[in-house]
Chain A
Amino acid sequence: MTALKVEGVSLSYGGKSVLDHISFSVDEGEFFMILGPNGAGKSSLLKLITGIERLHAGEIEIFGRPKKDYSARELAKVVSIVSQHAPVDFPFSVAETVLMGRAPHLGLLQHESTHDLALAEQSMSFTDVGQFSDRRLDQLSGGERQRVMIARAICQEPKIMLLDEPTTALDPAHQLKIMDLMEKFRQDKKTTIVMVSHDLNLAAMYADRLLLMRDGQTVITGTPAQVFTREHLAKSYDCELLIDKNPVGKVPRVMLCPEKFKNYEKLNTYHI
Chain B
Amino acid sequence: MNKLMQREAVPTIKRFFLVCSILGMVLFISVLVGILNGSSPIPLRELLLSLAGDNADPTVNTILWKIRLPRVLLAALAGAALSVGGMVFQALLRNPLAEPYILGISGGSAVGAISGILLGLSFFPGVTFFSFLGSMLVLGTVLLLAGDQVSTRKDFLLLGGVMMNVFCGALIMFLISVSQGPEVKQIIFWLMGDLSMASSGNLALLLLCFPCFGVILVFSRPLNIILTGRDSATAMGINVRLVSTTLLVTTSVMVSLVVCQSGLIGFVGLLIPHFFRMAIGADHRLLGPCCILGGSSFLIICDLLARKLPEHGEIPVGIVTALIGAPLFIFLLWRSRR
- Cβ contact within 8 Å between B232 and A103: no
Contacts of B222 in A (CB 8 A): 103, 108
A contact residues around B5 at 8 Å (CB) = 117
A103 and B238: CB pair below 8 A?
yes
A103 contacts B235, C-beta separation under 8 Å: no
CB atoms of B235 and A100 under 8 A apart:
no
Quick check: which of B8-16, B107-115, B203-211 contacts chain A, the rest being far away? B8-16
Q: Contacts of B7 on A, CB cut-off 8 Å?
A: 95, 133-134
Which residues on the A side are within 8 Å of B9 (C-beta)? 93-96, 133-134
Closest chain B residue, CB of each to CB of A99: B10
Q: Is B155 an interface residue (CB 8 A)?
A: no
A93 to B229, CA, bound (A): 15
Taking residues whose C-beta sits less than 8 angstroms from the other chain, chain A's interface range is 35 or more
Q: How many residues of B contact A (CB 8 A)?
A: 33
Could you say which of B52-60, B119-127, B276-284 contacts chain A?
B276-284
Contact mask for chain B residues 250-290; partner A; CB cutoff 8 A; 1 contact, 0 none: 00000000000000000000000000010001110000000
Question: Total contacts A to B, CB within 8 angstroms?
Answer: 118
Kindly supply a per-residue 1/0 record for chain B positions 294-330, scoring 1 wherever the CB is within 8 Å of any chain A CB and 0 otherwise.
0000000000000000000000000000000000000
Q: Mark contacts of A68-96 with chain B using CB atoms, 8 A cut-off: 1 yes-contact digit, 0 otherwise.
A: 00011111110111110111011111111
User: Which residues of chain A have C-beta atoms less than 8 A from B239's C-beta?
Assistant: 72
Query: Are B234 and A52 in contact, CB atoms less than 8 angstroms apart?
Result: yes
**Residue pair B3, A83 in contact (C-beta under 8 Å):** no
> Would A103 and B237 be within 8 Å (CB), given that A97-B228, A117-B10 are in contact?
yes
- B178 touches A (CB below 8 Å): no
On whether A108 and B225 interact (CB within 8 A), knowing A50-B235, A52-B231, A89-B94, the answer reads no
Given contacts A92-B224, A92-B282, contact A108 B218 (CB under 8 A): yes
- CB neighbours of B166 from chain A (8 A): none
Q: How far is the CA of A111 from the CA of B12 in the complex (A)?
A: 8
B 1-42 contacts with A by CB, 8 A: 1, 3-5, 7-11, 13
Question: Taking A92-B283, A117-B1, A133-B4 as contacts, is the C-beta distance between A50 and B234 under 8 angstroms?
Answer: yes
Report the Cα distance A97→B236, complex, angstroms: 13
Nearest neighbor of B221 in chain A, beta-carbon distance = A103
- Complex-state Cα separation, A158 to B71, whole angstroms: 53
A interface with B by C-beta (< 8 Å)? 47, 50-52, 71-77, 79-83, 85-87, 89-97, 99-101, 103-104, 106, 108-109, 111-112, 114, 117-118, 120-121, 130, 133-134, 136, 149, 156
Return the 8 tightest CB-CB contacts between A and B, nearest first: A76-B237, A134-B9, A73-B237, A95-B9, A50-B235, A72-B237, A90-B282, A134-B7
Q: List 6 extra interface pairs beyond A51-B234, A87-B227, CB under 8 A.
A: A85-B229, A86-B232, A87-B228, A91-B282, A96-B10, A121-B1
18 CB < 8 A contacts A-B: A77-B237, A81-B232, A83-B231, A85-B229, A86-B232, A87-B228, A92-B282, A96-B9, A99-B11, A100-B224, A100-B225, A100-B228, A104-B236, A108-B219, A109-B218, A118-B1, A121-B4, A149-B232
Chain B interface residues (CB < 8 Å from chain A)? 1, 3-5, 7-11, 13, 91, 94, 218-219, 221-222, 224-225, 227-229, 231-232, 234-239, 277, 281-283
